Structure 1
Amino acid sequence: MSKPSVRPSRPFFSSGPCAKRPGWSLQQLDQAFVGRSHRTPEGKARLKEVITRSKDILGIPEDWRVGIVPASDTGAVEMVLWALAGERGMDVLSFESFSGTWAQDLRDILQISDLRVLEAPYGQLPDLASVDWSRDVVLTWNGTTSGICIPHKDVIPLHHDGLVICDATSAAFAMDLPWDRLDVVTWSWQKALGGEAAHGMLALSPRAAERLSKAPQRPLPKIFRLSGKKGLLEAVFQGDTINTPSMLCVEDALDGLRWAEKIGGLPALQKRSRENLKLLEAWVAKTDWLDFLAEDPASRSSTSICLKIVAPWFEKLNTEERLKVVKHLTGLVAAEEAGYDLASYRDAPAGLRIWGGATVDAEDIQKLLPWLEWAYERTLKEFSV
């Protein structure tokens, strides 16, 4: 085929940091509270506004506590695991890179004695029926590196004895999260609303807050501490952050939240993401060299959309050769400024990953697809297939 002539207006398809919202520019940050302390009343008010707007858009129950924490979603998850793990037995679901990291930390670093790791390869979920909900359960709602998501809320029983700790960084603001079935939920600014990186969000149910209010069972560095001698550090959930945040990033987060409210809140965000997935589903259905990494359509992500190359010639290659093919294919598209950051995550099977969250316009995905087809044909010739 000939080289396409139309490029995406915003060729940004990275799964983190993700594309900025439509119409974003640096001018949106002109009112950032820079050069001042974040601990002033005005600084705390900006941070509290991020918390309040996030809570409202996501539909988080009023009695939950929401706070801003260091080190993105990774920091939020680690804070909770280090503070909570070990009081009772734990089940952890491991089915892609980051969920595998949580399992490794619990097993090898924290060395939880009563730990069950429920594993599945890329493209599948562990046996959800085997989860013991009387224990603490650690799960990733959407696997950013595999494109696999929890299919529905009924997976988790409404009443459970343990705490359900949910890494939702690539699901928040795009998928329905069952707040009445979760106890700890984490996400970051850099995913679904395209915020700047380095800051995480942490939401606690009343049960989780009660557990955390107890003195920590192990020594923790200051940036991990959510409780002290007097119980839960309530100030964290009022905008008084543990460490110094970037007020530029705070302003950027507020910009994304205001945009989400302007277009219709969570329903509108979800609709945009689902439309992006539908476009790719229609294209993959008529494309003979690609398929979804998710084997079950019910667990197919609408944000981190992961695709595998299923051409017979590609499947005969070893891992190193496959990576070279993908690097070449995605490099051709990037060189034409038609799409950036399209290769699968480094630990995942070699393939493509296209972010389909709400900040990506469906028309840009539509314009990307001919470039992928063109690059694939060029790659076939390059590798003499």
Structure 2
Amino acid sequence: MKKHNFYAGPSILSEYTIKNTAAAVENFAGTGLSLLEVSHRSKEFVAVMDEAQALVKELLEVPAGYEVIFVGGGASMQFCMVPFNLLNKKASYLDTGTWASKAIKEAKLFGEVDVVASSKEANYTYIPKNYTVPEDSDYFHITTNNTIYGTELHNDPDVKVPLVADMSSDIFSRPVDITKYNIIYAGAQKNLAPAGVTIAIVRTDALGHVDRSIPTMLNYKTHIEKGSMFNTPPVLPVYSALQTLKYYKELGGIPAIQKKNIEKASLLYDEIDRNKLFHGTAVPEDRSLMNVCFVMNEEYKDLEAEFASFAASKGMIGIKGHRSVGGFRASLYNAMPVESVKALIDTMKEFEKEH
């Protein structure tokens, strides 16, 4: 039976990425060595890092004045690394979910934090609107997609201060106006590679303006100056990221990927809205294209466990919702084929007919 991987992260990777990474684990770049044992300073791996950085710039149309780095620590490390490097007096944050609130907590260790708006009172079912970002903020931090709650910012906000964004779960899913941002960061384990590496796109002239000393490993300048090679990088995830980036280019780049993502999400949301057993949890205008959250309607609540088992019997893997929301969550990252989405829809229709 075919398995359909809806896990929220670590999550589905393209067959292209998996196949090429597996081959390199056995024999990397014709060296006769495994990717798992090759020196990160070998010319073969330096070429991997250089190409990966160049492809990020090409796909996202990163302008001059920005650098792409690959670092460890996950997005959680970026929660403190960003304010360490950028927060001099005050930063503003938008609270849209668990990961945004964790970023806020870390930033408060470095200076004043203005939470300009929050949707916590509604269990983060919407993206706040009509807020004001103080113009004396060093930056405004957003979390563009909220994996747990299924909400997403579909455009780059128009504010009068530089943006910083956690794009861990929707990077490469839509075009981005990089010029609005000082830093964009993303853990790899949703739309890029296996867990273990984080990508950051950094505006270089935004650095060097804080009064504090910054530890070497937490200073963006360190990783920029050393080409992401200050310490041993996570070789396998970086190589996998390169394969994914090549695959994205083959698909036609970000506009083509965005078109497919809209198609996949629209199909599933249409079924949720049609099916008498289910309803979506996020307000329609803020629904995520990456993480579709839905629950049983109240009168069918007692069927939740039965549907989970039924879906599993049909090969649907990883659709259990996060405990903060309950119900179900189907993650439709870039590597998710439309055929898997249609298979989930057929499963929902079949279960509806039986009940």
TM-score, normalization: structure 2?
Answer: 0.86
Equivalent residue, structure 2, for 1:104: 105
Equivalent residue, structure 2, for 1:318: none
Equivalent residue, structure 2, for 1:301: 288
Matched-pair contact (CA < 8 Å) for 1:326–1:343: no
Aligned residue among 214, 218, 222 for 1:224: 218
Secondary structure of 2:4's partner? coil
Equivalent residue, structure 2, for 1:144: 147
Matched-pair contact (CA < 8 Å) for 1:192–1:358: yes
CA distance 1:299–1:188, shift in 2 (3 Å): same
How do residues 1-385 of structure 1 correspond to structure 2 at under 5 angstroms? Answer: 9-22=2-15, 25-26=18-19, 28-31=21-24, 32=28, 33-85=35-87, 87-107=88-108, 110=109, 112-116=111-115, 118-121=117-120, 122-135=124-137, 136-153=139-156, 155-157=157-159, 160=160, 162-193=161-192, 195-205=193-203, 209-214=204-209, 217=212, 220=215, 222-227=216-221, 233-236=223-226, 238-240=227-229, 242-295=230-283, 297-312=284-299, 314=301, 326=304, 329-334=307-312, 336=313, 338-346=315-323, 348-374=324-350
Report the CA distance between 1:262 and its aligned residue. 1.1
Unaligned runs of 5+ in 1: 1-6, 315-321, 381-385
Letter of the 1:288 counterpart: K
Letter of the 2:329 counterpart: R
Report the CA distance between 1:285 and its aligned residue. 2.3
Percent identity, aligned pairs only? 18
Unaligned runs of 5+ in 2: 29-34
Secondary structure of 1:204's partner? strand
Letter of the 1:213 counterpart: G
Report the CA distance between 1:185 and its aligned residue. 0.4
CA distance 1:114–1:166, shift in 2 (3 Å): closer
Letter of the 2:269 counterpart: E
Secondary structure of 2:190's partner? coil
Equivalent residue, structure 2, for 1:3: none
Report the CA distance between 1:115 and its aligned residue. 3.1
CA distance 1:329–1:217, shift in 2 (3 Å): farther
Report the CA distance between 1:164 and its aligned residue. 1.3
Instruction: Give the CA RMSD over aligned residues.
Output: 2.6
Distance (whole Å) between structure 1 residues aligned to residue 328 and residue 256 of structure 2: 26
Report the CA distance between 1:326 and its aligned residue. 4.8
Distance (whole Å) between structure 2 residues aligned to residue 299 and residue 177 of structure 1: 17
Report the CA distance between 1:13 and its aligned residue. 0.8
Matched-pair contact (CA < 8 Å) for 1:151–1:298: no
TM-score, normalization: structure 1?
Answer: 0.80
Matched-pair contact (CA < 8 Å) for 1:69–1:75: no
Matched-pair contact (CA < 8 Å) for 1:169–1:191: yes
Distance (whole Å) between structure 2 residues aligned to residue 95 and residue 343 of structure 1: 21
Distance (whole Å) between structure 2 residues aligned to residue 218 and residue 99 of structure 1: 25
Matched-pair contact (CA < 8 Å) for 2:16–2:243: no
Report the CA distance between 1:202 and its aligned residue. 0.5
Distance (whole Å) between structure 1 residues aligned to residue 172 and residue 321 of structure 2: 22
Letter of the 2:334 counterpart: A
Distance (whole Å) between structure 1 residues aligned to residue 219 and residue 270 of structure 2: 47
Matched-pair contact (CA < 8 Å) for 1:288–1:311: no
Report the CA distance between 1:330 and its aligned residue. 2.5
Letter of the 1:330 counterpart: A
Equivalent residue, structure 2, for 1:4: none
Distance (whole Å) between structure 2 residues aligned to residue 216 and residue 224 of structure 1: 15
Report the CA distance between 1:306 and its aligned residue. 1.8
Aligned length: 342
Secondary structure of 1:130's partner? coil
Report the CA distance between 1:130 and its aligned residue. 2.4
Distance (whole Å) between structure 1 residues aligned to residue 279 and residue 6 of structure 2: 18
